Structure 1
Amino acid sequence: MNFEALIAIINNSKNNDSTTNNSTTNNSTNNNSSNIRRVPISQDIQNELESHYKNILKNFLDEKDKVEFDGNYKCEDDEIYELEDFDWEKKIKNCDLTKEDFKNIITLNIISNDDFEKIKILIVSQIVSQDNYLIFQSMDNRKFIKPKSFLFYSNNTLNYEDKKGIKIDGNIDCIIELNSKRLFFTSFHNASKIFDLSDYYREATKTEINEFFSNEIFDGKIESDNLTSNIRKKIFLILKNETLQKVNKNFQQVKNYAEELGIDCFKKDKIELPKDNKKLKEIINFLNEDLYKSPISNAIYESNSKKMIK
Structure 2
Amino acid sequence: MALSLFALTSNPSSRIVKFDISAPVQVELTEYLKEQEQQFDEAQEEIEFDGKYKPESDEILCINGYDDIDGLEGAIRAPLGVEPVNPDEDFFLEIKALFTGYETESGTIKILLQNFDRRKIISTNGLSIFHANNVYKKIEGIGITVDHKLTATLEAGKLKFYSFHTTRQMFDLSEYYKVATDDDVFEFLQVDQIQSVDSHGFLDMADSWVRRKISLIQQSGILQNVPLHEMRAAAIDFNIPFETIDEGGSEVIGIPDNKSDLKKLLRFLDEDYYKSPLSKTNFVTNSKQLVTEQ
Q: Above 0.5 in TM-score?
A: yes
Identity %: 31
| Closer/same/farther in 2, CA of residues 231 and 37 from structure 1, 3 Å limit | closer
Q: Which of 95, 107, 115 matches 1:138?
A: 115
**Structure 1 CA distance, aligned partners of 2:213 and 2:66?**
23
State the match for 2:18 in structure 1: 38
Matched position secondary structure for 1:199: helix
State the match for 1:72 in structure 2: 52
Which residues of 2 match residues 9-20 of structure 1 at below 5 A? 9-12=8-11
Q: Is contact 2:96-2:170 (8 Å) kept?
A: no
Q: Is contact 1:3-1:125 (8 Å) kept?
A: no
Does residue 108 of structure 1 match 2:85? no
Aligned residue type for 1:184: K
**Structure 2 CA distance, aligned partners of 1:97 and 1:59?**
26
Does residue 157 of structure 1 match 2:138? no
Matched position secondary structure for 2:21: coil
- TM-score of the pair, normalised by structure 2: 0.56
**Structure 1 CA distance, aligned partners of 2:174 and 2:9?**
23
Q: Which of 131, 144, 149 matches 1:166?
A: 144
* Alpha-carbon distance, 1:38 to partner: 1.5
Q: Is contact 1:8-1:120 (8 Å) kept?
A: yes
| Closer/same/farther in 2, CA of residues 196 and 103 from structure 1, 3 Å limit | same
Aligned residue type for 2:139: E
- TM-score of the pair, normalised by structure 1: 0.53
Which residues of 2 match residues 20-31 of structure 1 at below 5 A? none
Q: Is contact 1:4-1:127 (8 Å) kept?
A: no
* Alpha-carbon distance, 1:44 to partner: 1.7
Q: Which of 52, 60, 66 matches 2:40?
A: 60
* Alpha-carbon distance, 1:194 to partner: 1.8
State the match for 2:105 in structure 1: 129
| Closer/same/farther in 2, CA of residues 79 and 157 from structure 1, 3 Å limit | same
* Alpha-carbon distance, 1:5 to partner: 2.6
**Structure 2 CA distance, aligned partners of 1:43 and 1:81?**
35
Aligned residue type for 2:8: I
Aligned residue type for 2:54: K
* Alpha-carbon distance, 1:230 to partner: 12
Which residues of 2 match residues 158-307 of structure 1 at below 5 A? 158-178=136-156, 181-203=157-179, 224-227=203-206, 232=211
**Structure 2 CA distance, aligned partners of 1:155 and 1:52?**
23
* Alpha-carbon distance, 1:202 to partner: 4.5
**Structure 1 CA distance, aligned partners of 2:152 and 2:83?**
24
**Structure 2 CA distance, aligned partners of 1:226 and 1:172?**
38
Could you list the runs of 5+ residues in structure 2 that have no partner in the other structure? 186-199, 216-294
State the match for 2:63 in structure 1: 83
* Alpha-carbon distance, 1:156 to partner: 4.2
**Structure 2 CA distance, aligned partners of 1:199 and 1:156?**
52
Q: Is contact 1:121-1:136 (8 Å) kept?
A: yes
* Alpha-carbon distance, 1:143 to partner: 0.8
Runs of 4+ residues deviating >6 angstroms: 228-231
**Structure 2 CA distance, aligned partners of 1:35 and 1:233?**
27
Higher RCO (CA < 8 A, seq sep 6+): 1
Aligned-residue Cα RMSD (Å) equals 3.4
* Alpha-carbon distance, 1:112 to partner: 2.0
State the match for 1:241 in structure 2: none
**Structure 1 CA distance, aligned partners of 2:20 and 2:4?**
8
**Structure 2 CA distance, aligned partners of 1:234 and 1:119?**
24
| Closer/same/farther in 2, CA of residues 226 and 174 from structure 1, 3 Å limit | same
Aligned residue type for 2:24: D
Matched position secondary structure for 1:81: strand
State the match for 1:257 in structure 2: none
User: Which protein has the larger Cα radius of gyration, Structure 1 or Structure 2?
Assistant: 1
| Closer/same/farther in 2, CA of residues 34 and 150 from structure 1, 3 Å limit | closer
Matched position secondary structure for 1:88: coil
